[in-house]
Amino acid sequence: MLKILVLFILFTQLVLGDNNSEKTDDKINQYYSGKFGFYSPSKELNNGLIYGIDGITEFKKLNFFLSGSIDLYTKKTFDIFSEPKPKIMDQAILVLPIHANIAYKLFEIPDAVTKFYVGMGGGYYFHFYAVQYRESGGIFGGVFDKTSNQNGGNIFFTVAGRVLIGKIFIEPRFYFAKATNGKVDDYSYKIDPSGFAITLGFQY
């Protein structure tokens, strides 16, 4: 968990830069934003909350922006194992997609201070999985618990829209990811974060 926090802090500093100022001239604006919302991944995982931060550079005269983003999804109730399945006593997963995006401003309603964007991007997701499961047998028989920690990741692509009203935005996003397959002893699992998220955020 410490490594995850360090990675999160380093990426935040890299993407957001100086949080105390908003750089503005006649050509570009630079923002950062935070968001949270509902995430519906593939059937092996489970619906839950997702959080994210963005660092954004908007090119005003060209009507598009570039962003660097990091999202965070964590869950304890899900079912990633194929048959036969271990008898799970406790488990937790953390998925961390890191991605770059480009979005084009379709149109703007100045009187309503509203902008509509659509964009796409891609990146790499990391997953950190910990499981405690129960086994029986062995040389002396009986029942005992085993633990395992699995880390990995893969590439993914994303398509998103953003409706910005003042500094508040709503962002629907689709994730298209390459699944990660692995094993815990003789038990096979698959992690696929492909899915849909809709988030509410504040752009500063």
* pLDDT per residue rounded down to tens, the chain (204 residues): 444 444 444 454 454 444 444 444 578 999 999 999 999 998 889 999 999 999 999 999 999 999 999 999 999 999 999 999 999 999 999 999 999 999 999 999 999 899 999 999 999 999 999 999 998 766 666 678 899 999 999 999 999 999 999 999 999 999 999 999 999 999 999 999 999 999 999 998
What CATH architecture is 2-203? Answer: Beta Barrel (2.40)
User: From CA 132, how far away is CA 98, in angstroms rounded?
Assistant: 28
User: From CA 48, how far away is CA 196, in angstroms rounded?
Assistant: 11
DSSP-based three-state secondary structure for 110:
helix
Nearest residue to 78 via CA among 124, 125, 50, 42: 42
Residue keyed to tokens 């036969």: 84
- Return the pLDDT at 43: 85
Dihedral sign computed on CA atoms, order 173, 51, 188, 3: positive
Contact, 153 vs 7, CB < 8 A?
Answer: no
Q: Where are the domains of the chain?
A: 2-203
